[in-house]
Structures are given as C-alpha cells and as structure tokens.
Amino acid sequence: MLSLLDRSHGKLHTQDQLTERALTWMPWILTGLAVVPLPILFLILFFVSASTDSAVFYLLLSLASLGLGLLVALLITISFWLYRRRWSRRLRDRLASDGITASEVYWFQSELSSEERKTWRELEQLNPLLADAYCETLAARLTATRIAARSRSEMLRIERQINRTRNLRHADTSSLLIDLQADRREAELVRREAQVRLGEAEARLHTIDAAARRALSQTETAMMLRRLSATQDHSPLALEIARLEQEARDDLGASD
C-alpha cells in the first residue's frame, strides 16, 4: 500500500485538474455575484420608484453597493491569486519529486522563459514532432534546474552546519565534521552533474529550434523560387498587350 502511494505521489491526479479549473473560474463567478446583483436591484427600484426622494435614495444605494461590490471583488481576486500561487507551487514541487515528464510541463510554464514558451507554441503549429521533442527536452531542463538549485541550497545548509559545529567548544566534533564534509562533497557532485545535464538540455533546445527554423526557411525559400520561376516563364499581361500593340502599329506603318 505504501509503495502504491509513493508511486502516485509525484503524479497528476484528476482532483488537481478539477482544482485548477475551480481556481480559474471561481474568482470570476464570485466577482460577478459581488458586483452585479445589488446595483441592478437598486437601479430597478430607482426606475420604478414613485417619488423623487425614493429615486435619489435608491440611486445612492446603487452607487454605494457598486463601490462596495468592487472592493469585495478586489479582495476576492487577491485572495484567490495568492491561494492559487501557493497551490501551484506545492503542486509543482509534488510533480517534480519524481522527475518532470513531458506531459507535466504544462504545469511548469511559469518556470519557462518567454523565449521557450514562444518557441514551443510556434513549433506546435509548424512541426508537432519537433514540438514533442522540444517539450521532452524542456522537462529535462526543468528537472536539471531544480536539482541544481536544490543542491546549492543543500550545500549552503551543510556549510552553515559545519561553521556552527566548528564553533562548538568542549566537544569532540571531528567525526561529525568528517560526515558533514562528505555530505558537502556529495552535494557538490550532484550539483555538477545537474549543471552538465542542464547544459546538455539547453544545447538540445537550441538544436531543435535551429532545425525547425532551418526547415521552415528552406520550405519558404523553395516556394519563393517556384513562384519566381513561374513568374519568369509567363510574361505579365500588360507587357504582352504592349508588345501586341507595338506589332500592330509596325504592321500599319509598313502597309502605309
């Protein structure tokens, strides 16, 4: 049972997708409920009121309820934004716990650069196969980036612990220092390996992008050359008419 839970811990669940949809639509629904009903109700009462005093009263209530509704809507939007940001961060941490896959890159778009997002969208339209390869490489790049960052944090933590241990007095800390230094070396090895993987992933991203651009450029160039050849093979209609008129004038001049 525990092994099944461990395997599903880093996976995306249906509940996560439902939560993401709810966090997307609920702020809009609650904002509409906070802003729209009361002002409309008071406006209706304003139009059907029999006296001027009551009409002015309902108009003021409509404006006041509109302002209050906008304030409540702003608070709702900020609250949902903060909650969604924290929820998304926890979800990404959970998904990345066993490595990021290509199908999970969608949830890590906030960690992609603007150039990577733009290239990914363009490749999806130009070449789906290259887009899949680009997405898989993005997953590798994200995983390597997270491992490198975690290794750096771990090295800083170990370094602080080593410094605190060295400041201890009247205690034999030699064995503890040896263990901590071994942990630091291991974290450094992991960081270097992650940096190598990160460099390889970034190089592959550029390679895929260049291959897609090269194929697109060659296709466009071939199309333009075909159009140019077709244009050269067929003279423009205006030139053809001018040539025929000139031949007709020459014939008339010769006959005179």
CA gyration radius, the chain = 34
Tokens of 118: 């733009």
End-to-end, the C-alpha distance of the chain in Å comes to 109
Could you tell me the pLDDT band of residue 4, with boundaries at 50, 70 and 90?
A: very low
* 140 pLDDT above the threshold of 60: yes
Q: What is the pTM of this model?
A: 0.69
Q: What is the mean pLDDT of residues 2-12?
A: 53
pLDDT in tens, 160-201: 998 888 888 777 778 888 888 998 999 899 999 999 999 999
* Token pair belonging to 55: 């009409």
- pLDDT at residue 127 greater than cutoff 50: yes
Q: For residue 35, which of 68, 11, 4 has the smallest C-alpha distance?
A: 68
pLDDT-based confidence at residue 235 (cuts at 50, 70, 90): very low
Cβ pair 212, 126 in contact under 8 A: yes
Q: What gap in Å lies between CA 45 and CA 130, rounded to an integer?
A: 61
The pLDDT value recorded for residue 239 is: 52
- Is residue 10 over pLDDT 80? no
Please say if the pLDDT value at position 52 is more than 90: no
Q: Decide which of 242 and 141 is more confident.
A: 141
* pLDDT for position 123: 87
Q: Check pLDDT > 80 for residue 238.
A: no
Sequence-distant (≥ 6) Cβ neighbours of residue 116 within 8 angstroms? 138, 205
The candidate with the shortest Cα–Cα distance to 105, out of 155, 146, 157, is 146
Pick left, alpha or beta for residue 234 (phi over 0 → left; psi -120 to 50 → alpha; otherwise beta): beta
Q: Percent of the chain, pLDDT > 70?
A: 80
Question: For 54-90, what is each residue's pLDDT tens digit?
Answer: 888 888 888 898 899 899 989 999 999 999 989 988 9
Q: What is the Cα–Cα distance from 130 to 6, expressed in whole angstroms?
A: 33
pLDDT at 71: 92
Neighbour-count burial of 98, counting CB atoms closer than 10 A to its CB (0-12 exposed, 13-18 middle, 19+ buried): middle
